[in-house]
Amino acid sequence: MSLLKEPDLGTPGRKGEATVEVEIDGLPVKVPEGTSVMRAAALAGVAVPKLCATDTLEAFGSCRLCLVEIDGVKGTPASCTTPVRPGMTVRTQSPRLEKLRRGVMELYISDHPLDCLTCSANGDCELQDMAGVVGLREVRYGVGEGENHLDAPKDTSNPYFDFDESKCIVCSRCVRACDEVQGTFALTIEGRGFDSKVSPGGLSFLDSECVSCGACVQACPTATLEERAVVDLGMPTRSVITTCAYCGVGCSFKAELKGDELVRMVPYKDGGANEGHSCVKGRFAFGYATHPDRQLRPMVREQITDPWREVSWEEAIDTVATRLRDIQARQGVGAIGGITSSRCTDEEVYVVQKMVRAAFGNNNVDTCARVCHSPTGYGLKQTFGTSAGTQDFKSVESADVIVVIGANPTDGHPVFASRMKRRLRQGAKLIVIDPRRIDLVRSPHIEAAYHLPLAPGTNVAMINAFAHVVVTEGLVNSDFVAQRCEDFDEWARFIARPENSPEAVEEITGVPAADVRAAARLYAAGPNSAIYYGLGVTEHSQGSTMVMGMANLAMVTGNIGREGVGVNPLRGQNNVQGSCDMGSFPHELPGYRHVSDDNVRDIYEKLWGTPILPEPGLRIPNMFDAAIDGTFKALFIQGEDLAQSDPNTQHVTAALAAMELVVVQDLFLNETAKFAHVFLPGTSFLEKDGTFINAERRINRVRPVMRPKTGKHEWEIVCEIAQAMGYPMHYDSPSQIMDEIALTTPTFSGVSFELLDRVGSVQWPCNDTAPTGTPIMHKDTFVRGKGRFVPTVYVPTQERSTRRFPLILTTGRILSQYNVGAQTRRTANVAWHQEDVLDIHPHDAEVRGITDGDLVSLASRVGRTTLRARISDRMPVGVVYTTFHHPVTGANVVTTEHSDWATNCPEYKVTAVQVGLASADAETAANRVAGRVAVPTAGG
C-alpha cells in the first residue's frame, strides 16, 4: 500500500454510552459524553487546525490554533479542551478565526528556520501543513530577526533519532507523550516564557532517563525529533502493516519503505496489542535483518571441526534428508528430533512439528517454551483447562489491584508496562513480589503498596500464604467458588493449615508476615484484582506448582472471567504462545491435545496419511540426556541458540557434540552453529509471511516487507526436507498452512488469512461460537468446565546456598537487549548495554572487597565466568543478578540442571554461586578475543 497516514482526531476518545448531539459547521454529529469539540468536528469530517493536539494525548490547549466560535459562548475557546454540550452549535471557520490563526502562525514561523525544502520532515510536517491551512502569506515580524532559537544546538547523542532544538515550537507533545504514553517522565519543559525549551532533564538524550521508545518522535509535529533514518534516507513512500518479532507483547507496526529499503518502523494505532506505542527494540532495533553477519547461503560440513562449505539448496536439503534417514536406519526411528522456534511464525512452526511427527515418525519435537513458559502450559491447563493467559492487555485498564510476580515489565514487556503504569497512575494499587526492587516498585508517580522481596525459590510458600489469609479471614468469594469451581473443600483444608500461614512462611520467604497479610487482603478486596507474572514464576523447580497456586488464588477470590482480573503470563518471545499452540510440545498435538487421545490422532492420521505415535516424545533436556547416553543422534534446530540460552552450557555442548547430525536453521552462525553439520539460512521477520500469536492469544499477521534474502521461505525448506525423506508435504502458500491448522484445531477453526486481513487480528478461541475471537477467557464457564483447585505443597528447591557457594544467582533481561542478543547485539542498542554485568548488594560486595566496576568471578558448582560488578541496593543481601545477552559472558555456564518437576523447565532463577574479585590474569581480555570467558568448574 502507499504510505499509510492514520487519521488523527485531535483528542482521545471517551468511553460511555451517554451521547451528546452537536452541530459543527452545519453538520450534525453524535459523540460520547466528554468528547472534545475538536474530536467531534473530526468525526463530522471537519478538520480543525491544530499543532499541540493529537489523539494519543490528552488535550493541552497551548497552541491556540484550534480556536472555534460557539453560539452563546464568549470569545474563541480552544476546541481541544472544550467538551461538547448538548445542542452546541460550533463554527470552525470565520474571518475572525482565520485572522487569529494567522497571527498565531506568524509568531511560530518568526522563530522557525524556513528551510522546508531541505528539511527532513518536508512533506510530513504539521507546522508546514498548518501554515498552508491558515493561508499564511507573510510574517510581519520577519523570520529569524530579533531574538530567536535558530542557532540552538542539535543533540545527536541518541543512536536512532536527532533532537534539533532550532525547529522546536514547544508544543509539549513530546513531553506529554513521554509522560502519558510511555510513563517515563524523562522530558520536561525547562525555563519560562521565551526561554522555554524541551529538555531531557538537562542532559543529552543518551545520558538521560529516556528509554528511546520513540513516542516523542512520533508525537513531534515538526522535524525537531526525527528518526535518523529519515534524516539520512528521506521520507518513506509506502507502508506494510506487520508485527514486531521481539517480545510476547506482539506490537503492530507500519513498516515504512522507500522503494525496497526499509526506512523506519512506526507503531500502528490500530494494533490491538500496542495501540500505537512501541519500545526501543521494535521501533528502532531492526537493523540486524540486513546485518552483514547474516549467512544467506546454505552450508554443510562433515565434522564440526571442518570448515563450512557453501552449497546449493538442493545439496543442503538432500544432505539433511539422507543423513537423517541413515541415522534412523542405524539407530532407530526415535534417534532424531526437532526443535521449533518461538521466533518463527505459526505456519513455520506447524510444518516443523508435522515434519517430526509425519516424516520423522516420532514425537521428538519440543520448543524453546520448554525453557520459559512450559509451566504456564501445565499449570493453567490443570486448573482452568487451557494453556494460555486469561485476558487481553486492555483488561489492565479495569484493574484495581495489580500483582506483579517474578516479572519486570518495564524491561521485558515495555509496551504493556506503559499500559500498566497508566492504570497505576490513575490509582490502581500495586503489589510486587520479587527478590529485586524492580523499577515498577518506585518510579515517577508510581509506588507499590507492597513490595514483598521474597527469597528466590520461595514463590509457592508466598502464594500459599496469600491464599491462607483469604481462606482463614473469611475473604473467599463463596458464590464464585460454589458456582464455578470444584475440589475446593480439600484444597481449603490444605491451605488453612498452620504451615501455610504468613507467620509460618516468614522464615522461608524472609518477608514479614504483616506485609503478606496486608497484601493478601488488598488483593482479595479488589474488586478487580489481576495477576501478571513472568519467568520469575516459571523458571523454578516448582514453576508449575506456582502457576497452579496463582490460579487457586484467582479462583478463590473470584478474579477470573471479566475485565480487570485474571492470571496473565507475560510471554517472553514474540510467538511463544503460537509455537505452543501449534503442537510443538512432545506430548501434545496442535491445540494442546494429548498424543494419547485416539480421536485427536485420528484427525491427523487421516489428513497426513501416516500413523502418529501415541506416546510422548523427548523434551529438550531429555534430548540432551539421550544424546549423551548415545540414543539420540540428530537434531533439527529451528531458530534457537541452545548453546547460549539453555542452562548448564557444558552439558548442552557435550550433548550437541555427541550427535552425528546437528542442523541449524537461523539468521546467524550462532553459538549452537559451532556444533552444526548443516546450516540452513533463515529469514528475518521482515521477510516472513504468516502469523505470530502474542501473550494475549492475539493472532497477528506478519507480512513480508521484502523477499527472502535466502531465496526460500523457512516453511518451504522444511517441506522440502520432509519430501526428500519420502514424506509428501507441500503447500502453495502459508495461508494454506493456516487453513490446515484451522481445519484440524477447534480453537482455530475460524481463523484464516482472509479474516485477519479483514479484521486486523483475533484472539483464540476463534470459531463458530466466537467468530471474531475471545478477548477474555473463562467468562461463564472454564474451558475444562469447573475451575479446579489443586493443593500446592511447598517443596524447597534442592539448589541450596552453601559455605562454598553462599549467594543465590538469578538471571533476567534488560530493556535494550533481547534474550541471547543475536539480534540486538547487531544493532545500535549496544549503546546501552555493551556487556552483561553482575548486580550485587553493597554488603555482599563490601565483605568481598568488591567495588563498582570491578571484574569479578562468578562460580557455581558447574562452571564459572567473569564479568563486571555493579553495586546495587535493588538487590537483597545474598542475591546477585545478571543477564544472558552476551555469549562472551556465558551466564548459563553457571546455571544448573535443576528443573521444574512437571515440565523440565530449567531453574534459571536459583543457582548457588560464589562471587569474588577476579584475579588480575587478564583472563577476560584474553578470552574475549578467543570468544569465551566462561569455563566449567574443575571437579564440578
Partner 1 sequence: MNPGLPPAVRLANDIAIQFAHLPFAEGVERVATHMRAFWEPRMLRALLAYIDAGGPDLDPLAAAAAEHLRQPA
Between CA 117 and CA 768 the distance in angstroms is: 55
Minimum distance from CB of 679 to partner 1 (Å)? 28
Minimum distance from CB of 198 to partner 1 (Å)? 56
Phi, psi (deg, nearest 5) at residue 35: -70, 145
Which residue type is seen at 603?
A: I
Q: Could you say whether residue 898 binds partner 1 (CB under 8 A)?
A: yes
Select 363 or 665, whichever has its Cβ closest to partner 1: 363
Between CA 69 and CA 53 the distance in angstroms is: 18
- 526-555 residues in contact with partner 1 (CB under 8 A) are 541-542, 545
Q: Could you say whether residue 91 binds partner 1 (CB under 8 A)?
A: no
The single residue among 896, 911, 914, 924 that binds partner 1, judged by CB under 8 A, is 896
Q: Could you say whether residue 367 binds partner 1 (CB under 8 A)?
A: no
Phi, psi (deg, nearest 5) at residue 301: -160, 150
Span from 33-41, 621-629, 884-892, 926-934 in contact with partner 1 (CB under 8 A): 621-629
Span from 347-355, 435-443, 615-623, 876-884 in contact with partner 1 (CB under 8 A): 615-623
Give the angle 877-883-886 at the CA atoms, nearest 5°: 145
Minimum distance from CB of 621 to partner 1 (Å)? 8
Three-state SS string over 684-703 comes to: CCCCCCEEEECCCCEEEEEC
- 390-409 residues in contact with partner 1 (CB under 8 A) are none
Between CA 770 and CA 188 the distance in angstroms is: 46
Q: Could you say whether residue 625 binds partner 1 (CB under 8 A)?
A: yes
The single residue among 444, 616, 746, 936 that binds partner 1, judged by CB under 8 A, is 616
The single residue among 629, 757, 846, 873 that binds partner 1, judged by CB under 8 A, is 629
β-strand 690-693 against 698-702: which pairing, if any? Answer: antiparallel
Residue labelled with grid coordinates 509506502? 238
The single residue among 146, 427, 939, 940 that binds partner 1, judged by CB under 8 A, is 940
Minimum distance from CB of 484 to partner 1 (Å)? 25
Between CA 590 and CA 354 the distance in angstroms is: 10
Q: Could you say whether residue 784 binds partner 1 (CB under 8 A)?
A: no
Q: Could you say whether residue 363 binds partner 1 (CB under 8 A)?
A: yes
Between CA 262 and CA 704 the distance in angstroms is: 12
Cell of 753: 488469512
Q: Could you say whether residue 897 binds partner 1 (CB under 8 A)?
A: yes
Determine how many CB atoms are found less than 10 A away from the CB of residue 922.
11
Between CA 834 and CA 817 the distance in angstroms is: 9
Minimum distance from CB of 798 to partner 1 (Å)? 4
Residue labelled with grid coordinates 539422507? 322
Minimum distance from CB of 440 to partner 1 (Å)? 31
Span from 212-220, 409-417, 477-485, 900-908 in contact with partner 1 (CB under 8 A): 900-908
**Helix 734-744, helix 346-354: angle, nearest 10:** 70
Q: How far is CA 896 from CA 378, 608, 862, 899, 940, in A?
A: 22, 40, 7, 8, 11
Which residue type is seen at 795?
A: V
Helix (H) or strand (E) holding 634: strand 634-638
Q: Could you say whether residue 743 binds partner 1 (CB under 8 A)?
A: no
The single residue among 159, 334, 502, 591 that binds partner 1, judged by CB under 8 A, is 334
**How many residues of this chain interact with partner 1, rule: CB under 8 A?**
36
Cell of 816: 535494550
Say if residue 920 is exposed, middle or buried (CB neighbours under 10 Å; 0-12, 13-18, 19+): exposed
- Is the previous residue joined to 409 through a cis bond, with omega within 30 degrees of 0? no
The single residue among 189, 795, 877, 926 that binds partner 1, judged by CB under 8 A, is 795
The single residue among 621, 639, 704, 863 that binds partner 1, judged by CB under 8 A, is 621
Span from 165-173, 576-584, 775-783, 787-795 in contact with partner 1 (CB under 8 A): 787-795
Q: Could you say whether residue 631 binds partner 1 (CB under 8 A)?
A: yes
Q: Could you say whether residue 860 binds partner 1 (CB under 8 A)?
A: no
Select 326 or 499, whichever has its Cβ closest to partner 1: 499
- 583-612 residues in contact with partner 1 (CB under 8 A) are 586-587, 594, 596
Contact between 199 and 171 (Cβ < 8 Å): no
User: Among residues 458, 820, 426, which one has the least CA distance to residue 642?
Assistant: 820
Select 602 or 629, whichever has its Cβ closest to partner 1: 629
72 CB contacts (<8 Å, ≥6 apart)? none
Contact between 37 and 86 (Cβ < 8 Å): no
The single residue among 35, 364, 653, 924 that binds partner 1, judged by CB under 8 A, is 364
Minimum distance from CB of 832 to partner 1 (Å)? 37
Minimum distance from CB of 499 to partner 1 (Å)? 11
The single residue among 261, 293, 447, 615 that binds partner 1, judged by CB under 8 A, is 615
Contact between 166 and 149 (Cβ < 8 Å): yes
Sign for the pseudo-dihedral over CA of 607, 613, 615, 616: negative
Q: Could you say whether residue 333 binds partner 1 (CB under 8 A)?
A: no
Minimum distance from CB of 616 to partner 1 (Å)? 6
Select 141 or 901, whichever has its Cβ closest to partner 1: 901
Helical residues (DSSP H) of 414-570, grouped into ranges: 414-425, 459-472, 478-484, 488-495, 502-509, 513-525, 535-538, 543-556
The single residue among 626, 627, 717, 888 that binds partner 1, judged by CB under 8 A, is 626
Footprint of partner 1 on this chain (CB under 8 A)?
334, 363-364, 541-542, 545, 586-587, 594, 596, 615-619, 621-622, 625-626, 629, 631, 791, 793, 795, 798-799, 861, 896-899, 901-904, 940
